[in-house]
């Protein structure tokens, strides 16, 4: 059994019926089996094709990133593919992190380091204290991690995925104007109220 099959086997049923859509070959291997799914207790979400279209429309409006976003994790980091290479995108910092070349390597690394790539332990602890994390929600830091916010349940709140992405991308744009060591007023750069 290959790693993609293992990932498919531990995931939910397909979110929507599989359809034939134009996708990069490496993603087509995944979407020919399932049109979106969740895994690791809803800490990994692979979008169905409709959600993928909407998310990419939002991201392209907010950022100039080449690549196709096809999923996210519980902390709102996105997963994207660019030239058959798979990446994790941190919307708070505007940084791409290479995961692997091809769907097989992506699946292998995701399975072996799922806690890191999905935020599993922190999200599970949050869900034990609060409630189930909805599939279209992410856990947002009250104080951004990049500004010293703790990776703790007390620093997290459930937020709509779309609003969360907008808040994080606005934050990223604003802090990019500050040099290292400059003082930042949190209310000027980050507002969870919209």
Structural domain containing residue 127: 121-189
Asked, for residue 194, whether it belongs to a domain, the answer is no
Separation in Å, CA 102 to CA 5, 48, 144: 14, 19, 32
Q: Tell me the pLDDT tens digit for each residue of 74-115.
A: 999 999 999 999 999 999 999 999 999 999 999 999 999 999
Q: Do 103 and 165 share a domain, yes or no?
A: no
DSSP 8-state secondary structure symbol assigned to residue 11: S
Asked, for residue 91, whether it belongs to a domain, the answer is yes
Q: Do 43 and 107 share a domain, yes or no?
A: yes
In 3D space, the residue among 12, 44, 17 whose CA is nearest the CA of residue 31 turns out to be: 17
Distance CA 48, CA 186 (A): 35
Q: Do 127 and 150 share a domain, yes or no?
A: yes
Strand partners for 98: 87
Asked, for residue 106, whether it belongs to a domain, the answer is yes
Task: Specify the pLDDT at position 193.
Answer: 65
Q: What's the structural domain count of the chain?
A: 2
Asked, for residue 79, whether it belongs to a domain, the answer is yes
Q: Do 137 and 180 share a domain, yes or no?
A: yes
Q: Do 140 and 71 share a domain, yes or no?
A: no
- In the predicted model, is pLDDT for residue 194 greater than 60? no
Task: Specify the pLDDT at position 185.
Answer: 82
Q: Tokens 């505007």, residue?
A: 94
Q: Do 44 and 88 share a domain, yes or no?
A: yes
In 3D space, the residue among 39, 13, 46 whose CA is nearest the CA of residue 114 turns out to be: 39
Q: How many CB atoms sit inside 10 A of residue 52's CB?
A: 21
Q: Do 100 and 137 share a domain, yes or no?
A: no
Average pLDDT over residues 156-173: 93
Domain boundary among 115, 135, 160: 115
CA 98-101-107 angle, to 5 degrees, is 90
Domain boundary among 85, 115, 145: 115
Q: Do 37 and 71 share a domain, yes or no?
A: yes
Mean pLDDT of the chain: 92
Q: Do 77 and 20 share a domain, yes or no?
A: yes
Distance CA 108, CA 117 (A): 12
In 3D space, the residue among 101, 70, 108 whose CA is nearest the CA of residue 86 turns out to be: 101
Please state the pTM of the whole predicted model.
Answer: 0.93
Burial 132-168 (b: 16+ CB within 10 A, else e): ebeeebbbbbeebeeeebeeebebbebbebeebbbbb
Q: Do 106 and 184 share a domain, yes or no?
A: no
Task: Specify the pLDDT at position 99.
Answer: 98
Q: Do 184 and 98 share a domain, yes or no?
A: no
Task: Specify the pLDDT at position 188.
Answer: 80
- What percentage of the chain reaches a pLDDT higher than 70? 98
Contacts for 31 with CB less than 8 Å, ≥ 6 apart: 18, 21, 23, 49
Distance CA 84, CA 98 (A): 11
């Amino acid at each position: 059994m290959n790693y993609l099959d293992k990932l498919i086997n531990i995931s939910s049923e397909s979110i929507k019926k599989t359809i034939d859509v134009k996708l990069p070959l490496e993603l087509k291997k995944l979407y020919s089996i399932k049109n979106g799914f969740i895994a690791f207790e809803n800490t990994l979400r692979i979008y169905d094709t409709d959600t993928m279209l909407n998310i990419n429309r939002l991201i392209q409006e907010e950022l100039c990133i080449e690549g196709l976003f096809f999923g996210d994790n519980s902390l709102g980091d996105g997963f994207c593919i660019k030239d058959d290479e798979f990446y994790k995108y941190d919307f708070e910092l505007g940084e791409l992190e290479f995961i692997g070349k091809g769907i097989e390597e992506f699946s292998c690394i995701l399975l072996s380091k799922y806690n890191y790539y999905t935020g599993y332990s922190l999200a599970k602890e949050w869900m034990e204290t609060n409630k189930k994390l909805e599939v279209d929600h992410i856990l947002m830091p009250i104080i951004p991690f990049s500004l010293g916010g703790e990776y703790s349940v007390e620093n997290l709140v459930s937020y709509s995925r779309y609003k969360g992405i907008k808040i994080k991308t606005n934050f990223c744009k604003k802090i990019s104007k500050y040099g290292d060591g400059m003082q930042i007023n949190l209310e000027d750069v980050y507002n969870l109220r919209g």
